[in-house]
């Protein structure tokens, strides 16, 4: 498989997760909660990297530590929120800072500098292998099947949680499952844009799509297309200007969102001026 084809397939597979789960994240207003999960994975990656290098355990790849920590952080966030009724921003800050602190400590204890970990921090789509593509495909398939089965329940949870509870929907279990899908999507996106900038690809394309439609299904489809287009533009610009790929993709997402807001404001202003009195 050529490098170009691998890159495009990686962008498409990660964009699928961004479009589908990112739409739920935006509608449910879970952006900063997702940021907490994303940054906490550094703890698991640092631990697995340290174990791998210190005790010669090459099968303990940082990506496995990322999956483990992301799901653990998602469940911990949901469990504390439901059982202890703490402020959500305090829980987010705690999980976010703890995961980052643990990761930094284990990375400092790991002998030598590791390029692989740098790719996880800042993203490098060119680093994705054939086995990584297969993993991305399987996880995307899991997300697709899960959303197809629970679409209406997720919609009720995001738009009217109290109403969903009255309809006998087990909102707590459903919320935990949605957090799990968010965690999986975050690890997928880390492959292309890195831990530091993952929120840009997870939230900005759905936020742009939300400017044009208020229905969830079209929002998901448009988010997927926008995420793919912006990722490919980011790749083109990064090659042309020799910029870091992850940062360039994040910048493209931010620029597109800002441009959308400006154009929307101009259109609204023109419509208001042309409105008959």
Cα–Cα distance, 81 to 88 (Å, whole number): 7
Q: 258 pLDDT band (50/70/90 cuts)?
A: very high
Q: 41 pLDDT band (50/70/90 cuts)?
A: very high
Q: Which two tokens stand for residue 3?
A: 């490098």
How much is the pLDDT for 191?
74
Question: Using CA of residue 41, residue 45, residue 47, residue 48, what is the dihedral sign?
Answer: positive
Q: Which two tokens stand for residue 112?
A: 């030598």
Residues in the chain: 277
Angle between helices 245-274 and 171-209 in degrees, nearest 10 = 70
Cα–Cα distance, 127 to 124 (Å, whole number): 6
Would you say 231 and 15 are in contact if contact means Cβ atoms under 8 Å apart? Answer: yes
Question: Taking 70 as the threshold, does the pLDDT of residue 260 lie above it?
Answer: yes
Q: What is the pLDDT of residues 189-241, one digit of tens each?
A: 887 788 878 999 999 999 999 999 989 999 999 999 999 999 999 999 999 99
How much is the pLDDT for 62?
85
How much is the pLDDT for 181?
94
All structural domains of the chain, each given as residue ranges with its CATH number in brackets, are 3-274 (1.10.3470.10)
Q: Which two tokens stand for residue 273?
A: 């001026």
Question: Using CA of residue 105, residue 106, residue 110, residue 113, what is the dihedral sign?
Answer: negative
Q: Which two tokens stand for residue 12?
A: 């498409």
Q: Region 11-24: what's the mean pLDDT? A: 93
Q: What is the pLDDT of residues 138-179, one digit of tens each?
A: 999 999 999 999 999 999 999 888 888 888 888 889 999 999
Q: DSSP string of 86-150? A: --HHHHHHHHHHHHHHHHHHHHHHSSS--HHHHHHHH--GGG--HHHHHHHHHHHHHHHHHHHHH
């Amino acid at each position: 498989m050529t490098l170009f084809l691998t890159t495009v397939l990686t962008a498409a597979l990660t964009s699928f997760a961004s479009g589908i789960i990112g739409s739920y994240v935006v509608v449910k207003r879970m952006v900063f909660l997702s940021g907490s999960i994303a940054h906490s994975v550094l703890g698991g990656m640092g631990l697995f990297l340290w174990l791998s290098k210190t005790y010669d355990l090459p099968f303990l790849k940082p990506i496995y530590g990322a999956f483990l920590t992301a799901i653990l952080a998602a469940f911990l966030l949901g469990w504390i929120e439901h059982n202890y009724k703490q402020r959500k921003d305090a829980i987010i800050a705690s999980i976010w800072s703890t995961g980052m602190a643990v990761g930094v400590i284990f990375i400092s204890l790991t002998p030598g500098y590791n390029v692989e970990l740098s790719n996880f921090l800042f993203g490098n789509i060119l680093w994705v292998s054939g086995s990584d593509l297969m993993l991305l495909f399987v996880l995307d398939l899991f997300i697709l099947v899960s959303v197809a089965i629970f679409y209406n329940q997720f919609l009720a949870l995001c738009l009217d949680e109290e109403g969903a509870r009255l309809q006998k929907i087990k909102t707590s279990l459903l919320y935990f499952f949605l957090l799990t899908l968010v965690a999986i999507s975050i690890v997928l996106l880390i492959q292309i844009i890195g831990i530091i900038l993952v929120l840009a690809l997870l939230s900005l394309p759905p936020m742009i799509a939300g400017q044009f439609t208020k229905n969830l299904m079209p929002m998901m489809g448009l988010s997927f297309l926008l995420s793919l287009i912006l990722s490919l533009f980011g790749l083109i610009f990064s090659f042309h200007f020799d910029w870091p790929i992850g940062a360039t993709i994040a910048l493209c997402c931010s620029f597109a969102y800002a441009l959308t807001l400006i154009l929307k404001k101009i259109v609204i202003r023109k419509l208001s001026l042309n409105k008959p009195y």
